[in-house]
Amino acid sequence: MAMIEPYAEQRKAGAVVLGMASDLSLNYYDSLIGTKEGPDSIRRMLAKLPDLGAMPLYDAGVIEEEVTTEGRATGSAGFEAMRTRQYERLCGMLRAGHFPIVLGGGHEVAIGSFQALSDTLHQASDGIEDGMAQLPNAGQTRIGIINIDANFQLRRSLAVRAGSAFHSVASFCQEHHREFHYLGLGMCDHTNSQATFAYARELGADWLLDREMKMKNRKRIQATIEAYLARVDHVHLSLDLSVFPSLVAEGVNLSRIYGVNLPVVEMVIRQIMESGKVRIMDVTGLNTEFDYQGDTARLAAKLIRHALKSVSP
């Protein structure tokens, strides 16, 4: 079984698992709740796996959603409070030179991940001495989002809604005069609207559709990723388990898609991690209501192990 130690900032630099018990996106989809239990389910599976790689692995627990005195979830207001706590904890981890792995929860957890990474990198580029400042390209601030997902997460919305996570990130970048770089892998053309495709083009995003993500196209896939990686200094890797077909991952929030097969996802994760540019990772979309045997949580844990074993400490 894996040796996962409790997290403390002063520990030797390693990977840190932080859960976000948020299902704001899933509540928006006809009350398909269940993702707030996702982080605990994945953490349990991680602890059962042997050989998680040479990098130390720490557990920072789960940030829970606040509830009212009547025991009801506080919705978007509660999520904002969670995101503030997530941001503060991630900034501390990044400054100490750790590699955070954020477990959702819905994909909205990616907003806090990006903001923490972006702000920490800009502070490092201003000469603040910390663990992040010791990383390659620390003085550079071009962050590339790589979203392995069926959805762009670029739905326009004034507030955080299902499918809007990276629209919120794009708005954050515009507000703070920072570059927005985005590569989507596994996009489904019938779950993303034409307006979303148009908006992605407007933002200068790159993407490959799920039907293009086949092993027979591996040279094109790898070339697309290589070209994208060359344009950025750091990577925010975000994986939504809904990228898989339902036969591979039944416990997801979107199963009516063509999907991307596991060997292809493993291939792209390996290539991205081996670049040495990944600074933070999200794993989202697990819905325990449908993960009857825990197979999807086990899949998520194995993908985290695969990512960790693809990078040297």
**Angle at the Cα of 195 from the Cα atoms of 194 and 196, rounded to 5 degrees:** 90
| Per-residue pLDDT reduced to its tens digit, 194-205 | 999 999 999 999
| Per-residue pLDDT reduced to its tens digit, 95-131 | 999 999 999 888 999 999 999 999 999 887 666 556 6
Helix or strand or coil: residue 76? Answer: helix
Strand partners, 19: 62, 103
Share the mean pLDDT of the chain.
87
So what's the pLDDT on residue 230? 98
Per-residue CA distances from 205 to 70, 76, 154, 185, 278 (Å): 43, 27, 10, 11, 19
| Distance separating alpha carbons of residues 64 and 138, to the nearest angstrom | 32
R_g of the chain, CA atoms, integer Å: 18
**Phi and psi, residue 160, nearest 5°:** -70, 125
| Per-residue pLDDT reduced to its tens digit, 144-162 | 999 999 999 998 876 666 7
For the chain, list the domains and their CATH numbers: 12-309 (3.40.800.10)
Quote the tokens at residue 113: 């991940």
| Per-residue pLDDT reduced to its tens digit, 213-240 | 999 999 999 999 999 999 999 999 999 9
Task: Please tell me the pTM assigned to this model.
Answer: 0.92
Confidence of residue 186 (pLDDT cuts 50, 70, 90): very high
Helices and strands per DSSP (H, E), number in the chain: 9, 9
Q: Which residues contact 302 (CB under 8 A, 6 or more apart)?
A: 49
Dihedral Cα 19, 141, 220, 147, nearest 10 deg: 30
Q: Which residue's entry shows tokens 């989507």?
A: 184
**Phi and psi, residue 82, nearest 5°:** -65, -40
Cβ(1)–Cβ(47) below 8 Å = yes
- pLDDT cut 70: percent of the chain above it: 84
| Distance separating alpha carbons of residues 264 and 150, to the nearest angstrom | 14
Per-residue CA distances from 186 to 127, 200, 208, 278, 305 (Å): 38, 14, 6, 19, 21
| Distance separating alpha carbons of residues 99 and 91, to the nearest angstrom | 11
Cβ(213)–Cβ(225) below 8 Å = no
